[in-house]
């Protein structure tokens, strides 16, 4: 990416008192790209977003937005001079203004006719033009979110900042609204930095995801690369449930109840992670397991299994099968392993 366009945060560090909450974070967002900061509560992702917004001044590092230095080296532009749009969990619509008035509020530099035309255009994009005369208290949560998005985009910002914007919605509405939001952001080609703790949401929304832990970015890549090639056990387990085995390594092979797996490098102990969707049922030879329970979860079935091994402790593990046919409790099955869903790391 050209370093003069979009957002560039370089070596950002920030302290609250003696606590370092952001630790040498660097990232860039190209025009029209959506980058998601993903991580557990307290990992520094919201503070990073607030630094991009100008709501916090970093202890060290620089922020450049569309060619302009906005933070660092003695410079700190306040949020209102950064030309950024905000969409947070609390949509913060003005209760004394109708929907049209809320969207017009951020574009006071336009004359009355231009302002109304632009506001109605944005409301039309989010499917809320027919509610222009409604009041915020008359809207559902999803409708309020759409109005807040229209208000944020009306000034044509150089950067959109989204902080857990869908977490207050129920699941069905959340899926619908985030799909609509993604299409509106892409249609307007606005650079976007989004914060979430939900890995599925990050994979759905983002062109790239930066996984954060304890103030640092531990891996940043396209969603499919993070899922298929995680850098460590934290990243692997953050993108979904994993079965974990602590294994001894001999002759380059890690022994687990599911079989032996090749290990790279001079390792004597390893942690083997196997995704539930990497475990299947076969008629061929394979590890034998006893069904403890089976539950249909809609698109997949979750099977609880107990695997015994002549030389290793028995293991309780989960398999997710794309099948509606549930095995019976107590049934013995032979398992197949998709090695692309097995990840091996040196034990720490």
**For the chain, where are the alpha helices, taking DSSP H only?**
45-53, 99-104, 112-125, 141-153, 171-187, 199-205, 223-228, 233-238
pLDDT tens readout for residues 307-337: 998 889 999 999 999 877 799 999 999 999 9
Report the DSSP beta bridge partners of residue 191. Answer: 159
> Band of the pLDDT at 90, cuts 50, 70, 90?
confident
Are 58 and 16 a contacting pair, CB within 8 Å? no
Given this model, what pLDDT does residue 5 score?
67
Percentage with pLDDT > 90 across the chain: 79
Within a domain: 217: yes
Kindly report, residue by residue over 225-268, the tens digit of the pLDDT: 999 999 999 999 998 899 999 999 999 999 999 999 999 888 89
Q: In total, how many domains does the chain have?
A: 2
pLDDT at res. 109 = 85
Domain assignment present for 119: yes
Supply the pLDDT for residue 2: 40
Are 229 and 296 contained in the same domain?
no
Model confidence band, residue 286 (pLDDT cutoffs 50, 70, 90): confident
What's the pLDDT at 1?
38
pLDDT at 48 over 60: yes
Mean pLDDT of the chain, nearest integer: 92
pLDDT at 3 over 70: no
Indicate if 285 and 165 belong to the same structural domain: no
In this structure, are 116 and 246 located in the same domain?
no
For the segment 178-227, what is each residue's pLDDT rounded down to a tens digit? 999 999 999 999 999 999 999 999 999 999 999 999 999 999 999 999 99
Domain co-membership, 91 together with 190: yes
Report yes or no on 1 lying in a domain: no
Q: What are phi and psi of 90, to 5 degrees?
A: -90, 110
| Last residue of one domain, picked from the residues 209, 235, 261 | 235
Domain boundary among 171, 202, 235: 235
pLDDT tens profile 144-157? 989 999 999 999 99
pLDDT tens by residue, 96-121? 999 999 999 989 888 989 999 999 99
Please list, in sequence order, all residues whose beta carbon lies within 8 angstroms of the beta carbon of residue 322, skipping any fewer than 6 positions away: 299, 300
DSSP states of 208-253? EEEEEETTEEEEEE-HHHHHHS-SSHHHHHHTS--EEEEEEEETTE
Residues 144 and 208 reside in one and the same domain: yes
pLDDT above 70 covers a percentage of the chain that reads 98
Domain ranges, residue 281: 241-346
Q: Which of 183, 179, 153, 150 is nearest to 166 (CA)?
A: 179
Nearest to 344 by CA among 277, 270, 267: 270
This prediction has a pTM of: 0.88
Q: What is the CATH number of the domain that holds 33?
A: 3.40.50.300
pLDDT above 70 (res 47) = yes
Residue at a domain's end among 235, 264, 299: 235
Q: Which of 55-69, 166-180, 286-300 has the lowest mean pLDDT?
A: 166-180
Residue 273 and residue 270: Cα distance in Å, rounded? 10
- Does 161 share its domain with 76? yes
């Amino acid at each position: 990416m050209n370093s003069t366009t979009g957002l560039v945060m370089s070596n950002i560090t920030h302290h609250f008192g003696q606590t370092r909450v952001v630790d040498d974070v660097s990232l860039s967002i190209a025009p029209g790209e959506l980058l998601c900061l993903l991580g557990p509560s307290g990992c520094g992702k919201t503070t990073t977003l607030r630094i991009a917004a100008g709501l916090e001044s970093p202890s060290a590092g620089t922020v450049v937005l569309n060619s302009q230095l906005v933070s660092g080296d003695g410079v700190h532009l306040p949020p209102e001079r950064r030309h950024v749009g905000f969409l947070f969990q609390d949509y913060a619509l003005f209760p004394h203004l109708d929907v049209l008035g809320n969207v017009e509020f951020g574009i006071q530099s336009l004359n009355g006719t231009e302002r109304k035309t632009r506001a109605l255009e944005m409301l039309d994009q989010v499917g809320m033009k027919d509610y222009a005369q409604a009041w915020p208290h008359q809207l559902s949560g999803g409708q309020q979110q759409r109005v807040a998005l229209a208000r944020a985009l009306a000034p044509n910002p150089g950067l959109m900042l989204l902080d857990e914007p869908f977490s207050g919605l129920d699941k069905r509405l959340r899926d619908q609204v985030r799909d609509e939001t993604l299409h509106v952001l892409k249609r307007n080609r606005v650079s976007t930095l989004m914060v979430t703790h939900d890995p599925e949401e990050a994979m759905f929304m983002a062109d790239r995801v930066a996984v954060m832990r304890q103030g640092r970015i531990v891996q940043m890549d396209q969603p499919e690369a993070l899922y298929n090639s995680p850098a460590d056990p934290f990243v692997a387990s953050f993108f979904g449930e994993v079965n974990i085995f602590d294994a001894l390594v001999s002759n380059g092979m890690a022994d687990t109840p599911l079989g032996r797996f090749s290990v790279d490098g001079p390792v004597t102990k390893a942690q083997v992670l196997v995704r539930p969707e990497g475990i299947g049922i076969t008629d061929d030879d394979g590890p034998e397991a006893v069904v403890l329970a089976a539950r249909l979860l809609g698109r997949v079935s979750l099977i609880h299994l107990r695997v015994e091994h002549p030389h290793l402790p028995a293991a309780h593990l989960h398999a997710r099968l794309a099948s509606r046919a549930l095995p019976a409790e107590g049934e013995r099955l032979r398992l197949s392993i998709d090695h692309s869903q097995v990840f091996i790391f040196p034990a720490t």
